[in-house]
Structure 1
Amino acid sequence: MSKPKVLISRRWPAAVETKLQQLFDTTLNSDDRPLSADEFRAALQNYDAVCPSVCDALPAEVLNVANKRCRILGNFGVGYNHIDIAAAREQGLVVTNTPGVLTESTADIAMTLLLMTARRGAEGDRLVRSGQWRGWCPTHMMSSDVTGATLGLIGFGRIAQAMARKAHHGFGMKILYVKPSPADPEIVADLQAVRCETVEELLPQCDFVSLHCPGGADTRHLIDERRLNLMKPSAHLINTARGDVVDSKALIRALREKRIAGAGLDVYEGEPHLDPGFLELENAALLPHLGSATIATRTAMGEKVLANLQAFFAGQAVPDRVV
């Protein structure tokens, strides 16, 4: 019996690509070039499985292509708001993701950004590289303390809890969180975490606010002009969740006008085409979507996709099915 035909939209860790080629009739993206909408339409017509990444937009007008052969979208990533889930469901497409394996690496990046924006790390690096640093002096580049500060988490899933552990046990930070229902009592007790009923209740109390909620229509511009104005002038915003959770224009204005002290961002609206206003800001620490970018994590993500495909084509229950 012939092997299922599988298309991988971007390069994956070599070890996973090798396994895919052993198990399936696999087409790799050798030059790692983003595929166009027309190329995805053709892939849906010619492959049994298409494996997009979180940077690949799959709206209804792509998924609704005629003469579809594809039966499963094996998404390389936890987030799947780049896929029109309603259209996928209507088309009978199975959609899977890769939860659980990128928790610690993404929480590490969130803490990295917190430290970078608090201590002006990116700004200091630019200063040294520019050759303009004139040496130490008592009032140069003073910044914000992290130890003992208050961290507010919007969303309290696995990644937020991992960040909270690092912040509380490593830096003695006080933890506040917003979640529709109270978290596990053991976790709350370990972190001495306090639940806020609303985002509006949380924001004014925090020195740092970190976003850990899914993207999509329900959370688009969750952090907008009004909510940014509730933050302390000394506070910092961290986003490793999804770019569209933050109103970019409003955040740029708040940073430019010093209504908040700083921001650390790993994700952006419309990435990789971020708003150029961010590039003009000294008080913004910017990373290129590195949350899960460790060798071990990205390999584990690929293994998750592989397991989902194997289960699907064997007629078994798919472990990480979202549709």
Structure 2
Amino acid sequence: MPVKKPLVIVTRKLPEAIETRMMELFNTKLNPDDHPLSQAELIEAVKTADVLVPTVTDRIDGRILAHANPNLRLIANFGTGVDHIDLAAARQRGITVTNTPGVLTEDTADMTIALILATSRRLAEGERVIRTSEWGGWSPTWMLGRRIWGKRLGIIGMGRIGTAVARRARAFGMSIHYHNRNRVSEDIEHELEATYWESLDQMMARMDILSVNCPHTPATYHLLSARRLKLLQKHSILVNTARGEVIDENALTRMLVGGEIAGAGLDVFEHEPAVNPKLVALDNVVLLPHMGSATIEGRLDMGEKVIINIKTFADGHRPPDRVLEGLL
């Protein structure tokens, strides 16, 4: 007798190849017009799904999960970060949560370096000048940026992505410094010639470039507070490809407006998709619409991990990418 396929509800449009394979393997309900689901729609989804496949745009909190039907036993997140899912509420209801670690490391590290370059060398500002036909020709003192060779790069969060950023930064001649919950191995420190700072405050006060590469958790919310941001030097730039909530965005905006730091490259924002209008008006800021992981290869790899997690779980085995509360 054929085994009943689990009902899998996917909250956003995924790559066509992934959706097709999911339709073959599971009883799958897709979101063809890719609209972000409302709270009411998410409640309806958890009322019927055996497996929910959300993304970062879906806030799966306790109020949503309170409506979950008894057969909902897996939330297979399409993405690495799970700060939008109430892990404690899921655990209380016996729901396993999985994510897609590792597959976005190189893409996000590439984007981090791109933002470091773009902010230091004023690339976005220069591109806007061309598009607005304001360029009057080359001048030896116009549109001067800063060299990144020889600069000190401070990395907050030396996990997979932070380490990948450090390897790239070494090729650009930067000196690697890092702050992490745990010190990395001696082999990695030796390879990267990396300096570990137990004190984030002490590291920040000495860096030319600061890169945020840690996850958003209750412990890292506003890790870069108004007080800490004041530690940065006036010539420093700040790059964030992790989560907007790690930085006090209002405090950062005030410092940028006041010229207290040189610039920022931001791919994520505290209140996405809303962006502070004062940030948008600044020339010394490079703003991107949360596209650090947006490569064709990365999205396909994410989808394949989701499928493996669902298939493994449906077959009665432990999925490979379980998220354990407290270990993020």
Q: Please give the TM-score of this superposition, normalised by the length of structure 2.
A: 0.96
What is the identity, as a one-letter code, of the residue corresponding to 1:207?
Answer: D
The alpha-carbon deviation at position 68 of structure 1 amounts to 4.3
Confirm whether residue 89 of structure 1 aligns to residue 56 of structure 2: no
2:73 is aligned with 1:74:
no
| Corresponding residue to 2:23 among 21, 34, 54 | 21
Q: Secondary structure of 1:128's match?
A: helix
CA displacement 1:77-107 (0-9 Å, x = unmatched): 1000001111111111111000011100000
- Closer/same/farther in 2, CA of residues 66 and 3 from structure 1, 3 Å limit: closer
The residue number in structure 1 matching 2:50 is 48
- Verify: 1:161 aligned to 2:173, yes or no: no
Match of residue 12, structure 2, among 7, 10, 22: 10
1:89 and 1:64 map into 2 onto residues whose CA distance is: 12
Structure 1: how far apart are the matches of 2:203 and 2:186?
Answer: 19
- Separation of aligned partners in 1, 2:90 and 2:130: 50
> Partner of 2:200 in structure 1?
199
Which residue matches 1:212? 213
Query: How many angstroms apart in 1 are the aligned matches of 2:93 and 2:299?
Result: 29
Give the whole-Å Cα distance in 1 for the aligned partners of 2:92 and 2:282. Answer: 44
Q: Distance in 1 between matches of 2:167 and 2:35?
A: 38
- Count residues with an aligned counterpart: 322
User: How far apart in 2 are the matches of 1:270 and 1:181?
Assistant: 29
Equivalent pair of 2:12/2:30 in contact (CA under 8 Å): yes
Instruction: Give 1:93-104 correspondences, 5 Å limit.
Output: 93-104=95-106
Contact (CA 8 Å) 2:158, 2:180: kept in 1 or not? yes
Could you tell me how far apart the structure 2 residues matched to 1:46 and 1:118 are? 50
Please state how far the C-alpha of 1:138 moved relative to its aligned partner.
1.1
- C-alpha displacement at 1:131, in angstroms? 1.1
* Distance in 2 of aligned mates of 1:74 and 1:180: 27
Question: 1:308, 1:318 within 8 Å by CA — same for their partners in 2?
Answer: yes
Contact kept in structure 2, 1:8 and 1:51, CA below 8 Å: yes
Shift of 1:283: 0.8
Whole-Å separation in 2 of the counterparts to 1:277 and 1:71: 43
> What amino acid sits opposite 1:181 in the alignment?
N
User: Within 1, Cα distance between the matches of 2:86 and 2:181?
Assistant: 25
Q: In the TM superposition, what is the alpha-carbon distance from 1:69 to its structure 2 partner? A: 3.4
Letter of the 1:229 partner, please give it: K
| Identity level (%) | 46
Q: Deviations over 1:235-279 (max 9, x none)?
A: 000001111001110010010111110000011112111222211
CA distance in 1, matches of 2:103, 2:90: 25
CA contact (8 A) 1:266 1:288 kept: yes
Deviation at 1:29, TM superposition (A): 0.5
What residue in structure 1 maps to residue 62 of structure 2?
60
* C-alpha separation in 1, matches of 2:69 and 2:305: 28
Query: Hey, what does 2:316 align to over in structure 1?
Result: 315
Counterpart amino acid of 1:142?
A: L
Q: Distance in 1 between matches of 2:120 and 2:108?
A: 18
Tell me how far apart the structure 1 counterparts of residues 227 and 68 of structure 2 sit (CA, whole Å). Answer: 44
Task: Name the amino acid aligned to 1:273.
Answer: A
Residue 196 of structure 2 aligns to a residue whose secondary structure is: strand
Cα distance in 2 between the residues matched to 1:66 and 1:17: 24
Output the amino acid matched with 1:191. L
Say whether the 8 Å CA contact 1:149–1:174 is kept in structure 2.
yes
Q: 146-155 or 64-73, which moves further after superposition?
A: 64-73
Matched with 1:175 is: 176
Change in Cα spacing, 1:66 to 1:47, as seen in structure 2 (3 Å) is: closer
Q: Could you tell me which residue of structure 2 aligns to residue 229 of structure 1?
A: 230
Residues 46 and 68 in structure 1, CA contact (< 8 A), matched pair in contact too: no
- The within-5 A match list for 1:122-141 is 122-141=124-143
1:252 equivalenced with 2:266 (yes/no)? no
- 2:287 maps to what in 1? 286
For residues 205 and 189 of structure 1, what CA distance do their matches in structure 2 show?
Answer: 21
C-alpha offsets along residues 42-84 of structure 1, whole Å, 9 cap, x if unaligned?
A: 1111111110001211111111115443211110110000011
SS of the aligned residue for 1:175 comes to strand
Aligned-residue Cα RMSD (Å) equals 1.0
Report the CA distance between 1:180 and its aligned residue.
Answer: 2.6
Amino acid corresponding to residue 214 of structure 1 in structure 2:
P
The answer (yes or no) to whether the contact 2:96–2:322 under 8 Å persists in 1 is yes
Q: Secondary structure at the match of 1:205?
A: coil
Q: Distance in 2 between matches of 1:283 and 1:33?
A: 33
Query: AA paired with 1:55?
Result: T
> Structure 2: how far apart are the matches of 1:303 and 1:255?
41
> 5+ unaligned residues in a row in structure 1: which ranges?
none
In structure 2, the gaps of 5 or more residues are: none
1:302 alignment partner AA: G
